[in-house]
Amino acid sequence: MRRKFIVNVVNENEIKIKVCLNQDAIKVSESAFIKYSSGNVIMPPVTQILVDEFHGQTCIKSGYMKGDSFFVTKLASFFRNNGTLGLPNSSGLMLIVNARTGNLDTLLLDNGYLTGIRTAAAGAVAAKYLSRESSSKAAIIGAGKQARLQLRALMLVRDIKSSSVWSHNNSSSEEFAASMTEELGIPVSVSQSISAAVREADIVVTTTPSCEALIQSGDLKPGTHVTAIGSDAPGKTEISPQAVAQANHYICDSYQQCKILGELEFVKNANALDIIELGDVITGKHQYKRKDNDISICDLTGLGIQDAEIALLAKRLSNNFIQLDSNPEEPQ
């Protein structure tokens, strides 16, 4: 008689209760980079479905650490016009699959929440290992959900005493500044230009879906660290090639991905750069040494193994889920 198998379904509310942006999430993110650095991760190329007529993008990423009990596939979407329909711009789900049998073990209906948490945690890891320890002034480019998460994440790894924000929508910037000032207890001000925000900051985080470079070479002062989050699909860019060339240190999550999806897509002489992967910095494979006046840029396109690690954290912590009994027919 065929064995039945059970699929656990965890909804967004349960996931939000159990998985938060905290030190545990940062540790999980570090673990993902370390695993990727080991060379024992199976991570297929990212699948991108661009729905230009509706300003939409759906991304499919997967990750598996050899020897683990599970692998994970994630589907995440961002449709910019959804607000006009009364829908959130972001959505998504994660599939946790038994690595021995290929059967679906757990379905996480996170609606993009876990992607947001793991992206912010990665930003915290980048700041922790790459920025000056004395960094105290942040600049956030963009004023959406991820922008808020990135500022919260910075507060977990650096003694941030003030921040500025810039976005194309000034009213969004003003709302961001007011709410984050109240939440974090630090002054958050609205910058009237990107240049002004960047030039005053120790750490800059870009979180926009821009297809035009926002940060120019003249914007970066000595000692600045930039974490670029927004460029995660072909055609997107937030940092000009001239600004990239100005960096003393260029670090990315995956060199292969960043050439296609990240800021390196537009850098003609990328081979001339000394490009380091973040996991190699964390593990010590690369001895990262920055001087106080060095400029560093970290390009994060998002790794499938990051999704796997945050999904497995959610699986471990969740105890309120629906169980579906599945007993498929034998194929004919």
pLDDT digits 0-9 by tens, 205-226: 999 989 999 999 899 999 999 9
pLDDT band (50, 70, 90) for residue 323? confident
Mean per-residue pLDDT over the chain, rounded: 93
What are residue 11's DSSP bridge partners?
A: 109
pLDDT band (50, 70, 90) for residue 183? very high
Q: What is the mean pLDDT of residues 309-326?
A: 88
Residue 247: both structure tokens together = 């960096």
Give the pLDDT score at 268: 77
Instruction: Determine the topology of domain 131-301 in CATH.
Output: Rossmann fold (3.40.50)
- Nearest Cα to 130, choosing from 235, 282, 330, 13? 282
Residue 80: both structure tokens together = 């910019």
C-alpha 270 chain-centroid distance = 22
265 neighbors 234 (Cβ within 8 angstroms): yes
| CATH topology match: 5-114+306-326 vs 131-301 | no
3-state secondary structure of 294: coil
Give the pLDDT score at 172: 96
Q: What is the mean pLDDT of residues 68-86?
A: 94
Percent of residues, the chain, with pLDDT higher than 90: 85
Collect contacts of 270-275 with beta carbons under 8 A, ≥24 apart. Answer: 273/244, 273/245, 273/247, 274/249, 274/250, 275/250, 275/251
Rounded to whole angstroms, what are the CA distances from 168 to 24, 59, 165, 172, 209? 33, 24, 10, 8, 11
Q: What is the pTM of this model?
A: 0.92
Is the confidence at residue 330, as pLDDT, over 70? Answer: no
Q: What is the mean pLDDT of residues 8-27?
A: 97
Q: Which CATH superfamily, name and number, covers 5-114+306-326?
A: ornithine cyclodeaminase, domain 1 (3.30.1780.10)
pLDDT in tens, 253-279: 999 999 998 898 988 766 657 899 999
Is the confidence at residue 1, as pLDDT, over 60? Answer: no
Give the pLDDT score at 2: 61
Rounded to the nearest 10 degrees, the angle between the axes of helix 304-317 and helix 23-38 is 140
Residue spans of the domains in the chain: they are 5-114+306-326, 131-301
Give the pLDDT score at 273: 77
